[in-house]
A and B are shown apart, each in its own frame.
Chain A
Amino acid sequence: MNNEVLHLVIVGHVDHGKSTVIGRLLCDTNSLPLGKLDSLKKQCKLNSKAFEYAFLLDALKDEQSQGITIDTARVFFQSLKRKYLILDAPGHIEFLKNMVSGAAKAEAALLVIDALEGVQENTKRHAYILSLLGVKQIAVVINKMDLVDYKEDRFHSLVKEMTQFLKELGLQAQSFIPISAFHGENLVESSSKMPWYKAYSILEQLDQFEANQALETLDFRLPVQDVYKFTNYGDQDRLIVGQILSGQLSINDEVHFYPSGKKTRVKSIPDYPNQQKSFGKTGESIAFSMSEQIYIKRGEVAVKQGQTPPLVSSTILVNLFYMGKKPIGLGSSFDLKSMTQKVTATIIEIKSIFDSSNLSTKTNQEIVENSIVECIIDLSEPIAFDSHQSHPLSSRFVVVMDYEICGGGVIKEGVKSEKSDQIEKKLIRNLKWENSQITRLDRSKKYGQAPTLIIVTGPKDSGKKPLAKLLETKLFEMGKFVYFLGIGNVLYGVDADIKDGEDNRSEHIRRYFEVLNLLLNSGLIVITTAIDLTQKELNQLKTQLSDTKTIEVYMGQNEQVLDSALYKFCDRDFVKQSEEIIKQITC
């Protein structure tokens, strides 16, 4: 027997016989613990209930009383070829999220249809979800053939109907199998009741499915899960940890991180209890140390130099399957998690809302539970991802609202915008950056300060410069390394080649922020003033300067502007104001 375990999901409409199929497979492959069948039969007799194979799965009291599978149960069985882990997905519409949980882990699926009832709402919905989740190996099982007298024409008409439907979803079943789970026909061995059917039984078909996608042949991707430094245990190295989604990693490989564009080399791949590994494989959870110390956070995606980089964008076109109770729509916000990244997302355009039960597109702009939406989402920060065609795993995301995962989907593409241009420029800047031997942390320790930006904005003559200069003097007297830079200091030097004016404003701002970035990289506390920066520009600042503590100060009468400003001052009490800000820096 093969060493692998194939993850299988069994889906279909409620009461079409999924649990019976599973119960039968367990029984007929001798995969049940000894005595389990007998004890269940006895229990049924005790409750004067006729025994059913479906009961084998219904281990929960709740479930037995309602007669429906309420969660994805996991059971194992084995053929002569290999082991199977079945994720029994409930067919009831209310438990669709459980079906999704099961199907998302599956490498192959059986879609069960009742020969008598035919294709029902959840048959279609489940098929749609399989296509969305990327489960491509599917066999359609026509169950309860005994109820239609094992008639060939009934089987063929269902095959025809389903083939057409699956085709619309871009799916193709590997086979259609007529069975009677109740009587054990075509489960393990070929049925004598249906001599007109010559192809595989369920078990034979299962053995035809292939386990695992060939992720090892794709480019290296490792979503950074965390950065460890167990100093209190005496370890010195900073370790990047994560699970390798695809490809491999070796010592000395040059690694680039996205979306930031930072880079380093792999110094070592430590292991416990052994000392070292030379190599990390697809699927492995590893840790590695870096030869050049750079500041990396959870969420970055490590890739290898020379391979195709992931896409980076903060505006994305997605297919979203929404499972939340509360309807959402245009302008709705939620958290979006993709690999180990987590950002705030807002729906800015709805392309279409799809009703999975009848495949119709609605014009209604409300997204209700269990609908599938094609929409454009704006993100608080850029994320790294791959297109669904090039990488099945790194294009996926889930949606979190009110502490719950309430949806999932795939990213179709990044959407071009003003912001995407800035993101790209920053990415290239970082990729081309020559790292210093002295790390940010070394500098912080030496100078006794973290690089910090205090940016003061507001209308003309609102007191920005007097406050900024007072701050500079006070911090300098405290022994801090501090520098004042007005935007004007950049405009007439660095920007001498471009004219002043609205048309060039974004380029002026970009260069100004780049200069700030250089100063901050040197470890300084920088105080800067600029007239009337907008919220959008402040957001851009965060894109351009990664991981720097920034204190935004607004001086002026209009309290409605700049939501992200930590301080809003409307008078000229500079002494008091500077004290407040200094407290914030030194805390």
Chain B
Amino acid sequence: MAEETKLNDPLDKLEAQSIFILREAYHHFKSLGMLWSIGKDSTVMLYLARKAFLGHVPFPLIHIDTQFKIPEMIEYRDQMVRDWKLQMIVGKDQVSLDNKETFPDGKISRLDCCQRLKSSALKNTLAADTDRYIFDHSLDKYVIDKNASSFTGVIAGIRADEEGSRSKERYFSPRNEKNQWKVGSQPPEFWSQYKTEFAPDTHVRIHPILDWTELNVWEYIQREKIPMVSLYFDQGAGTRYRSLGCYPCTNPVESTSTTPAEIVQELKAGKFSQIAERSGRAQDKEDGGGLEALRRDGYM
């Protein structure tokens, strides 16, 4: 068969676009970081970064650890950090944790908990307002990041098909000095020309996999054999996680899928083809537009 002269496979097209966006981000933002939630989407994004930069990841990864993450997530994170020699930064809301002002401690609502342990911790970590920790490969452990400075470009792995508010995002989405997202006054974005200019004290969120669907992500994981945290697969109990988060607020779904191929099948034709992905996430349901309110305030 003659060699194809253009990209035809939707996955190839998505990949090419994501790489283009990642390279744009790397070119324009001196202080650039990538949010890595350990979930499948941002792990695919991390893999795409290695593709874009020929096996390197030339910027740090940022993880907001609520301390309520499922333990396997943290194990997997640190293993990948070692295997792929990643620059890894971890941030958290130490004050709320110390005062036990969290939902699992029973003191505040789910949304308030997300607001503190995720949104506010993220905001402070990005601005370098609170201590953050960096993985020291020579010591093989996390140490306080002494050279912490604020990020002007933050790459995030959100997808437009996840839920309503994310479908309105841009690839390059400005945040003002208060970390807020102004949905109504977003700049236009067209012809692969993005918002790469920004005023002092503002920063830009960059969304390289905005156009990917949950199915695309799993098909890509299957095709490229990208290592995933084991929580996504049934370990014998007949359940697995479809979306990862903090253990008090995230529930596994009933499924016996043990491989990406089986998950792809499940999403295409099986029982999940008609059920929203985040249906296992409790915070989306607390109030009709809860996630939208969180997003405007800086939530991923």
**Prevailing SS type, chain A contact patch:** mixed
Given contacts A36-B276, A74-B211, A398-B193, contact A216 B6 (CB under 8 A): yes
- Could you tell me if A279 and B16 are in contact, using CB atoms closer than 8 angstroms? no
The interface residues of chain B lying within 8 Å CB-to-CB of A283 are 6-7, 12-13, 16
Interface residue B74 (Cβ < 8 Å from any Cβ of A): no
- Could you tell me if B190 and A104 are in contact, using CB atoms closer than 8 angstroms? yes
Q: What separation, in Å, do the CA atoms of A7 and B54 have in the docked complex?
A: 30
- Could you tell me if B288 and A43 are in contact, using CB atoms closer than 8 angstroms? yes
Q: What separation, in Å, do the CA atoms of A75 and B224 have in the docked complex?
A: 26
- Could you tell me if A59 and B187 are in contact, using CB atoms closer than 8 angstroms? no
- Could you tell me if A60 and B54 are in contact, using CB atoms closer than 8 angstroms? no
- Could you tell me if A225 and B23 are in contact, using CB atoms closer than 8 angstroms? yes
Instruction: Please pick, from B10, B16, B188, B292, the residue contacting A405 in the complex, using a CB distance under 8 A.
Output: B188
Interface residue B297 (Cβ < 8 Å from any Cβ of A): no
Size of the A side of the interface (Cβ < 8 Å), in residues, is 68
Q: How far is the CB of A512 from chain B (nearest CB, A)?
A: 36
Q: What separation, in Å, do the CA atoms of A398 and B163 have in the docked complex?
A: 30
- Could you tell me if B27 and A225 are in contact, using CB atoms closer than 8 angstroms? yes
Q: Closest chain A residue to B7 by CB distance?
A: A283
B144-191 interface with A by 8 A CB criterion: 160-161, 163-165, 167-168, 170, 183-184, 186-191
Q: How far is the CB of A324 from chain B (nearest CB, A)?
A: 11
Interface residue A479 (Cβ < 8 Å from any Cβ of B): no
Interface residue B52 (Cβ < 8 Å from any Cβ of A): yes
Interface residue B26 (Cβ < 8 Å from any Cβ of A): yes
- Could you tell me if B195 and A404 are in contact, using CB atoms closer than 8 angstroms? yes
- Could you tell me if B56 and A230 are in contact, using CB atoms closer than 8 angstroms? yes
A-B contact count (CB 8 A): 162
Size of the B side of the interface (Cβ < 8 Å), in residues, is 60
Q: How far is the CB of B296 from chain A (nearest CB, A)?
A: 9
Q: How far is the CB of A409 from chain B (nearest CB, A)?
A: 10
Q: How far is the CB of A116 from chain B (nearest CB, A)?
A: 29
A1-21 interface with B by 8 A CB criterion: 3-5
Q: What separation, in Å, do the CA atoms of A217 and B6 have in the docked complex?
A: 9
A505-544 Cβ-contact flags toward B at 8 Å (1 or 0): 0000000000000000000000000000000000000000
- Could you tell me if A285 and B187 are in contact, using CB atoms closer than 8 angstroms? no
Q: How far is the CB of A454 from chain B (nearest CB, A)?
A: 30
Q: What separation, in Å, do the CA atoms of A94 and B26 have in the docked complex?
A: 33
Which of A153-161, A235-243, A312-320, A562-570 lies at the binding interface? A235-243
- Could you tell me if A228 and B54 are in contact, using CB atoms closer than 8 angstroms? yes
Interface residue B55 (Cβ < 8 Å from any Cβ of A): yes
A206-233 interface with B by 8 A CB criterion: 212, 215-217, 225-226, 228, 230, 233
Q: Closest chain B residue to A246 by CB distance?
A: B6
Given contacts A405-B189, A405-B195, contact A241 B183 (CB under 8 A): no
The interface residues of chain A lying within 8 Å CB-to-CB of B55 are 233, 272-273
Chain B CB within 10 A, most for which of A34, A235, A402, A408:
A34
- Could you tell me if B199 and A287 are in contact, using CB atoms closer than 8 angstroms? no
- Could you tell me if A71 and B184 are in contact, using CB atoms closer than 8 angstroms? yes
Instruction: Please pick, from B164, B198, B274, the residue contacting A34 in the complex, using a CB distance under 8 A.
Output: B274
The interface residues of chain A lying within 8 Å CB-to-CB of B210 are 74
Interface residue B105 (Cβ < 8 Å from any Cβ of A): no
Q: What separation, in Å, do the CA atoms of A281 and B9 have in the docked complex?
A: 12
Interface residue B58 (Cβ < 8 Å from any Cβ of A): yes
Interface residue A329 (Cβ < 8 Å from any Cβ of B): no
Interface residue B231 (Cβ < 8 Å from any Cβ of A): no
The interface residues of chain A lying within 8 Å CB-to-CB of B4 are 281
Interface residue B51 (Cβ < 8 Å from any Cβ of A): yes
Interface residue A61 (Cβ < 8 Å from any Cβ of B): yes
Q: Closest chain B residue to A403 by CB distance?
A: B197
- Could you tell me if A60 and B168 are in contact, using CB atoms closer than 8 angstroms? yes
Q: 5 interchain pairs (CB within 8 A)?
A: A74-B160, A239-B54, A243-B192, A271-B54, A287-B54
List the interface of chain B (C-beta within 8 A of A): 3-10, 12-13, 15-17, 19-20, 23-24, 26-27, 50-56, 58, 160-161, 163-165, 167-168, 170, 183-184, 186-193, 195, 197-199, 210-211, 213, 224, 274-276, 288-289, 292-293
